[in-house]
Amino acid sequence: MHLRLRPATEADLDALIAILNTTIPWLRERCLDQWYGIPWHAAELAPGLAAGIVYLATDDDVPAATMTLDPEPDPAFWTPADDPHSALYLTHFAVDRGHGGRGIGTWMIDQALHQAAARGKRSVRLDAWKTNPGLQDYYRGQGFRHVRTVEAAGRGSGALFERPVPRVPPDSSTMDSPRRL
């Protein structure tokens, strides 16, 4: 396995949408309540692509995973008291199911931490659906701590998590050997 992370381009849009949309039934099969009823569309990723904050991981040039690292917090979740600009916000995070179980999710989180450190941020933050304890447990297992759960009208998400950037972040944007979780 040879993973490489790079900013996604418009040419990657079909692959990004496929990764996100094939994750939805996989989540359902595991009773992980997340993204229900949401097929992802190009319009949702277009602003992030234009801003250069959507990333694609490839395994020998085959799309393997995606994430968005947004410098702007969701104001429905993160308040001025959270020092919201001290973090990067991990969203649209998914591993292609054909590449699952090989440690790519952990590697992607490591890369998010590296990006945060490179930008002078203190942490990586994310939100998960309030009704998804399985995914929340996954993030806890990845070193994130639960900050709080908030209610935002019309939003399923609201379980807020944060992971501090390590003093010596991972510095490789490639992974040449498989890692098992």
Render pLDDT for 6-15 as a digit per residue (tens, 0 to 9): 999 999 999 9
| Beta partners for residue 128, in sequence order | 159
User: What's the average model confidence in pLDDT over 63-89?
Assistant: 95
Give which of 37, 41, 121, 127 is closest to 76, Cα–Cα: 127
| Cα maximum dimension of the chain | 44
The packing angle between helices 13-29 and 42-51, to 10°, is 120
Q: CB 38: neighbour CB atoms within 10 A?
A: 12
State the Cα torsion 81-82-84-90 to the nearest 10°. Answer: -160
For the chain, what are the domain ranges? 3-175
pTM, to two decimals:
0.86
- 126 compared with 101, residue with greater pLDDT: 126
Main-chain phi, psi angles of 101, to 5 degrees: 75, 15
Domain 3-175 has CATH 3.40.630.30: yes
